[in-house]
Amino acid sequence: MSSVNTLSDTQMLEAVKAAQSKAYAPYSKFPVGAAIVGPNGEIFSGCNVENASYPEGNCAETSAIAAMVMAGVTQINDMYVIGNGEGLVSPCGGCRQRIREFATANTRIHICGPEGVRAVMTIQELLPHSFGPEQLLPANE
Ligand SMILES: O=c1ccn([C@H]2C[C@H](O)[C@@H](CO)O2)c(=O)[nH]1
Ligand SMILES: [Zn+2]
């Protein structure tokens, strides 16, 4: 558990809380917010969007990634996630793969609670031995 929040943690906590407040989660009643810091310090946020056809719902991380890509950005420097409860709301398997697509070795995922950042991890820790763009894209980029 990390106990000290940096200035940017404080700013990002505000951003994820604002995103969480927009969640559409009438079925699970489990609102989640996510906020990405891009390579130039831009912030892209998203919330979970559920659906009466349950499997069609989107996670907050997925929504934030869509907002980032819509803005023309394809690199995640940091991802902040917040949910309710005591434990760690860490990205689901599908979202780990989606984050992986835009992550670098320096990307950090910050799992938050209302009081601050509870844990920080790398995508390598969340998704070891992962499959990624390097397998499919030419190396001469
Ligand atoms: O990291 C997570 C975990 C869960 N959810 C959402 C999916 C669903 O709407 C609700 C309950 O699983 O929380 C997220 O958005 N992100
Ligand atoms: Zn997910």
Per-residue pLDDT of the chain (141 residues; tens, 9 = 90+): 444 666 699 999 999 999 999 999 999 999 999 999 999 999 999 999 999 999 999 999 999 999 999 999 999 999 999 999 999 999 999 999 999 999 999 999 999 999 999 999 999 999 999 999 999 997 755
- The two beta strands, 108-113 and 78-82, are parallel
What is the domain range of residue 95?
4-135
- Whole-structure pTM value: 0.94
36: Cβ below 6 Å to ligand 1?
no
**What CATH number is given to the structural domain containing 20?**
3.40.140.10
Does some domain include residue 108?
A: yes
* 61 included as an active-site residue: yes
Does some domain include residue 64?
A: yes
Provide the domain count of the chain. 1
ipTM over 0.90: yes
Q: Which atom of ligand 1 lies at the shortest distance from residue 57's CA? A: 9
Distance (angstroms) between ligand 1 centre and the Cα of 104 equals: 24
Amino acid at site 87: G
Does some domain include residue 51?
A: yes
Strand partners, 8: none
